[in-house]
Copies of this chain bind each other. A is one copy, B any other.
């Protein structure tokens, strides 16, 4: 058996998220369907670095699978792209050692969130950016970002529905916010993320930008360990799983 690692990009707009669900179009189902064709009907199970929700995009999701076929890495890329629909694309494929695991070997994940902070929405980017037409204090948001970096218990910033095993302590290596011509880009790099964590962080940072929360309040929010003190969950369409490092 050979193990294949693929980096994939997908537009989450027309998917019910990453993970297979009965009677729903999902990214995992499309890829497994293409692999089944390549394997002449044999079902192949893929493993991802993690799920993404309905409407969330990936620029660099990572998956792996095992195969009996002896095909070079780049040919996997071409074979899969020839079969996949136009909203999923394999940007890289390679043969990896048998101890590689797309989920368990993750060292760092990077998410980006895009906000369009202009009066008018942009019809061409409506599925890839969150249009927020109100005034935001970017410097206050940037100050709040500093309070989020480092190792913290992120219970406040994870969905109350989360069923994660173990503690909710995670380390964020980078939390940044930059504005360019009406577009605001948030970058989150960390050891791991809880369910809905990035979207709740963005929702809370928007509250900071509107003056509803002061930057130092972020420390108090972290200490509270209660979802109800954080801001709203920002909409899915602005979120991109940007990169997974191993």
Residues of A at the B interface (CB closer than 8 Å) are: 9-11, 57, 86-89, 91, 120-121, 123-124, 126, 128
Contact = CB atoms under 8 A, between A and B. Distances in A.
A89 B133 CA distance: 15
A57 B87 CA distance: 19
A11 B127 CA distance: 11
Among the interface residues A57, A89, A120, A124, which one has the most CB atoms of the partner chain B within 10 A?
A124
B126 A86 contact: yes
B91 A126 contact: no
A124 B57 contact: yes
Contact of A123 (B88, B123, B124, B126): B88
18 contacts: A9-B123, A9-B124, A10-B123, A11-B123, A11-B124, A11-B126, A57-B124, A86-B121, A86-B123, A86-B126, A87-B123, A87-B126, A88-B123, A89-B120, A89-B121, A89-B123, A91-B120, A124-B128
Greatest chain B CB density within 10 A among A57, A120, A128 is at A120
A88 B123 CA distance: 7
Contacts of A120: 89, 91
A98 B22 CA distance: 57
A126 B57 CA distance: 14
A178 to B, nearest CB: 19
Contacts of A57: 124
Given A9-B124, A89-B121, A89-B123, 13 more contacts: A9-B123, A10-B123, A11-B124, A11-B126, A57-B124, A86-B123, A86-B126, A87-B123, A87-B126, A88-B123, A89-B120, A91-B120, A124-B128
